[in-house]
Amino acid sequence: MATGQTATLSRVTTTADAMGGQVPTWTATYSDFACNIQPRRGGLREKFDRPEMHVTHVLYTATAITAATGDRVVSGGVTYLVQHGGDTAGKSRMTTLYLTKEG
């Protein structure tokens, strides 16, 4: 992918603070992988697990990554949350993630 974009995929874990409260900690699971993030076009229609899922962007990468709903993608200082995704071609050549832009 010669787009010049890179991203980091992080997964949240929770730890206890000194008072026993839950503290979220983001840990990078894939760093600086080449990708292409594009705004989702209005004419694009996918069938998702949850009809209420709001998707603003789509990430394409040739890197074999495993992402889960709720993972965080950061690219160019912009943060996105993973809503859905996987190996869309079924041949382990292209991973597509459907994202919601935060903020």
Outline where DSSP puts E strands in 17-102.
Answer: 22-39, 57-61, 72-75, 78-87, 95-101
- Dihedral angle of Cα 38, 40, 41, 46, to the nearest 10 degrees: 130
pTM higher than the cut 0.85: no
5-52 pLDDT tens trace: 999 999 999 988 999 899 999 999 999 999 999 998 764 555 555 566
Looking up residue 87, the CATH number of its domain turns out to be 2.40.10.370
**What is the model's pLDDT at position 3?**
65
44-101 pLDDT tens trace: 555 555 566 788 999 999 988 889 999 999 999 999 999 988 766 666 678 899 999 9
23-32 pLDDT tens trace: 999 999 999 9
Number of domains observed in the structure of the chain? 1
More confident residue, 103 or 22: 22
* Residues spanned by the domain of 18: 5-41+50-101
